[in-house]
Chains A and B, each alone.
Chain A
Amino acid sequence: MNEQDVIVQRAAYKKRVFQILHIVTSMKITMALLMLLAGAAMIGTVISPQRYDIYHSMGFRLLLTLICGSTFICSMKQLAALRHSNKWRHLAPWGTFSVHMAVVLILLGALYGNIYGVSEEINLAVGKNYEINQKKYKGIGEPFALHLENFETQYYSDGTVSDWISHIRIEQYGQNRLIQEVKVNHPLIYHGISIYQSSFGMAIQTQYLDAAGKVLQEASLGEGQGMVLEGDMMILPVRYVGGLNPQIMYIVYKGEREYDWGAASLGSSRFIGPQMGIVKFIEAQPFSGLLIKQDPGIPLVWFGFLLLAFGFFVSLYKKQF
């Protein structure tokens, strides 16, 4: 094969690639992809996510990837068409281009966040610390600690909840760096880590002792959370009742069935079960359920959102109005 043949062959090959790309990004295929996505999304809202989580399945991800790719190629085609015409002076085609690029950026941002993002839910009792370090959250520098100073629920005058508030202090380098009230709609953001008010409850320090007073088991339980004991028994503190005479209401289970129930003040002993073991609720502390999150994809997604809105207004308003 001489040099000329190679060049001709390469040109033919290139042409075929372009032909395939052209078919893949044709309008009919695009419509089919959009239709598939809409259909799959629709089915996903009918099936319960416990049974099958369609949105995180391989097929759905493949579909999103295809849409991302096809949108990208389309926007490149638009750009090429713009360069070869004198339309580049007009705003509307740039709007259309922006919309398509925005879709690509949003999907890439979501993908990036999915791969490198970290999130966890923690229950932090009042007065306790939680350390955030490099092991889990990359690029935050020196580890820092969240300290929950107080948790409170505020009410409107008619008795409905107005806010759940976690008073959080951040300690880093052995110093207090930041003190902030974290509420719904008011997350705390520090070194790229966001902390959200997510839930709340009571943490009940529960001990199980033998007749001689030796501690056999100990756990911090939330309301309605059980601790399994010897002999197929389980102790479940149902609810903390505050006020003048704070008590823990509890149920004792043997296997699946209720065996006994009662109420105990903090620190008092209750004999339960045939073995006559002792249960003690040492203390009850309000805790705040916090969502801790690091999503490095956010800036890209936000930029995509801006570009999307901008692109739509420019492309659809310039043409008609």
Chain B
Amino acid sequence: MGALEKEFFNSAFVSYFLASCFNIGHLIWLKERLGRWAIALTVIGFVVNTLALTSRTLQAGRIPFANMYEFGMAFVWGLIFFYLYIACRYKNYSLGAFVLPVAFVLTGIFSSFYQEVRPLMPALKSNWLLIHVITAVIAYGALAISFALAIMYLWRQRMEEAGGQETIISLLPSLAILDTLVNRCIHFAVPFLTLLIVTGAVWAEYAWGSYWRWDPKETWSLITWLIYAMYLHGRVALGWRGKRAMNWAVIGFITVLFTFIGVNVLLPGLHSYAL
């Protein structure tokens, strides 16, 4: 069973990689067929990703949220889910060329943290685990999308300035739509990002006896939150639009990545079991 789940996740990795290639190829050669292949591969990746999560859940007899590897599977799943939702809703799959590479790189990173199924350690035996991790999947998933959209914006803008091919540009949503979408993703994510920190704090009070200890994980989650707080203020009060807002969205997601991968690897603390 364990081997099967690993195979599923590896297949998801391969599917996401191929989907990235086809997506990018679609933007370069403008062949409709490549685009269709890209969507099919994304859906296949999503299905095997779901199977990997399911078999892990069955094998562990609990929700697979106990370490980086398990959380990673859920996170990439959430990311692709958001992507498919937005792509279907706006009937524009060009976002895939930007989201799928992120998904495939993250899948590769999480695979490298593979761990055998183990029972939950005492600190994780809590109902807070479920809600804490679900809020993380939602918040980080939406922020990953905002990042991909922001990159798309910056890319399209550069192409326009350089007087690039009209046809490629026409495949991407307009700058105004991209700007709005990035903002919506962040607006959607920030309440969940807040819940993520709050549930973590309340849980820490029950598990470790203190809701805030300036543990590296706590501190970096606060830094991430502050970056998005600055984004919201800049947007509302200082009229940040376009390139400036997009740069913040990019910086924000880089901090998210650091909070959730970098801290585990580089700054060990109370949250270290997540590795």
For B207-244 the 0/1 string (1 means CB < 8 A from A) is 11111101010011011001101100110011000000
CB distance from B105 to the nearest CB of A (A): 24
- Which A30-63 residues sit within 8 Å CB-CB of chain B? 30-31, 34-35, 37-38, 41-42, 44-45, 49, 55
- Contacts A45-B216, A309-B198, A316-B191; is A183 near B226 (CB within 8 Å)? no
Q: Which residues of chain B are near A309, meaning CB under 8 Å? A: 191, 194-195, 198
Q: Which residues of chain A are near B92, meaning CB under 8 Å? A: none
- Contacts A31-B233, A161-B122, A308-B194; is A119 near B216 (CB within 8 Å)? no
In terms of DSSP, what is the predominant structure of the interface of chain B?
Answer: helix
Bound: A312/B194 CA distance, A: 8
Centre residue among B125, B212, B214, B220 by max chain A CB count within 10 A:
B214
Please tell me if the beta carbons of A27 and B237 are within 8 angstroms of each other in the complex: yes
- Contacts A185-B206, A187-B209, A293-B209; is A38 near B223 (CB within 8 Å)? yes
For A279-321 the 0/1 string (1 means CB < 8 A from B) is 0000000000001010000100110010011001100110111
Taking CB as reference atom, which chain B residue is nearest A26?
A: B237
Bound: A257/B116 CA distance, A: 43
- Please tell me the size bucket of the interface on B: 35 or more
User: A131 contacts the other chain (Cβ, under 8 Å)?
Assistant: no
CB distance from B247 to the nearest CB of A (A): 14
Pick from A37, A302, A305: contact of B226, CB under 8 Å: A37
Please report the number of residue pairs spanning A and B whose Cβ atoms sit closer than 8 angstroms. 102
Please tell me if the beta carbons of A34 and B191 are within 8 angstroms of each other in the complex: no
Q: What are 28 pairs between A and B in contact, CB < 8 Å?
A: A30-B233, A31-B230, A34-B226, A34-B233, A41-B222, A42-B219, A44-B219, A45-B216, A45-B220, A49-B214, A160-B119, A162-B119, A164-B122, A185-B122, A185-B126, A185-B206, A186-B206, A187-B206, A291-B209, A298-B211, A305-B202, A308-B194, A312-B190, A316-B187, A316-B190, A317-B187, A320-B187, A320-B188
User: B160 contacts the other chain (Cβ, under 8 Å)?
Assistant: no
Q: Which residues of chain B are near A161, meaning CB under 8 Å? A: 121-122
CB distance from B185 to the nearest CB of A (A): 10
User: Contact residues of B with A, CB < 8 Å?
Assistant: 118-119, 121-123, 125-126, 183-184, 187-188, 190-191, 194-195, 198, 201-202, 205-212, 214, 216, 219-220, 222-223, 226-227, 229-230, 233-234, 237-238, 263, 267
Taking CB as reference atom, which chain B residue is nearest A155?
A: B119
Question: What would 5 more interface pairs be, CB under 8 Å, given A31-B238, A41-B223, A163-B125?
Answer: A31-B230, A41-B226, A55-B214, A161-B121, A320-B183
Q: Which residues of chain A are near B263, meaning CB under 8 Å? A: 45
Bound: A302/B234 CA distance, A: 28
**How many residues on A have C-beta within 8 angstroms of the other chain's C-beta atoms?**
45
Taking CB as reference atom, which chain B residue is nearest A95?
A: B191
User: Contact residues of A with B, CB < 8 Å?
Assistant: 27, 30-31, 34-35, 37-38, 41-42, 44-45, 49, 55, 110, 119, 156, 158, 160-164, 183-187, 194, 196, 198, 291, 293, 298, 301-302, 305, 308-309, 312-313, 316-317, 319-321
